[in-house]
Amino acid sequence: MRVFKTFVDIDKEEAYLRAMAQKGQQLVRYTSYGVYIFRAAEPAPLNYRVDYRIFTGKEQFEEYLTLFADAGWEHVCGSWQSGSQYFLPRPGTVQTEDIFSDEESRAARYKRFGQFNLSFALLCGLWALALPVLWGYISGLPSADFHDWYLTPELWELSGLRFWRAFLLETPFALMRVGFIPLIELVLLALTALTGYWACRAWWLYRQHKRQW
C-alpha cells in the first residue's frame, strides 16, 4: 500500500504511523517524494519514533544506527543520504519511551529540517532568478524577453479585452515555441515557495518546543 502524505510536524507524523499500525498497516519504506509504503500485518500498537538527520557519509550513518541499536531501537527505514529516519523498539530489549533524552534534542530535529529546506529554497530561488538571464546568453535558445515569444502583430500595443483575448489565445503556442524552459522556471518557483513554507513552519515548531526546555 502506498500513501502520498507530507508532514512538517514530526509529532503528527509519529501519531499517523501509530494509527496506521493499529489499522494493520506497518511502515516498510518512506521515499523523499512523500510516499509512505506500508505492508499488511496484524494490527498492533507500534511506538514509531522519527528523527531528521543530515549525514556527511555512510560511516557517520552507521555510527548513528549503532547508537540507537545499543539503546534498544530498530531502524525501520531511512537513508545515509540524510533525511527522515524511522525507528521502532527492538523486541525483547529495554528502551526508553522516546529516542530523545530531553526536549532540546527533540526540538533540534525541527531545526535541522528547517535548515535543509531553507537551503533548498534559496538554491531553487537563485536558479529561478538566474535561468532567464542564462537563457538569453545560450546560443540556440529562445530570447529571454518573453515579448519575443508572441508573434501576433502589434500584440503589445493592444489594450483591454482585445489584448487579453489575443494574449490568452496565443500563449499556449508561445509556450510550445520556447519548449520546456518555462516549465522548468515554474517548477523552480513552486519548489522555492513550498520548501520556503516548510522551512518557516519547521522554525515555528522549533520555537514552540524551545519554550518547553
Largest CA distance in the chain: 78
Q: What pLDDT, in 10s, does the model give residues 22-71?
A: 999 999 999 877 899 999 999 999 999 999 999 988 999 999 999 999 88
Are the beta carbons of 152 and 170 closer than 8 angstroms? yes
Predicted TM-score (pTM) of this structure: 0.77
CA 1/CA 26 separation, integer angstroms: 10
* Residue where the block lists cell 487579453: 164
Q: What pLDDT, in 10s, does the model give residues 125-156?
A: 998 888 777 666 554 555 666 677 777 778 88
Separation of CA 144 from chain center: 30
Give the containing element (helix H, strand E) for 100.
none
CA 29/CA 43 separation, integer angstroms: 18
pLDDT on residue 140: 54
Per-residue pLDDT band for 190 (boundaries 50, 70, 90) equals: very high
Q: What backbone torsions phi and psi does residue 120 show, to the nearest 5 degrees?
A: -65, -40
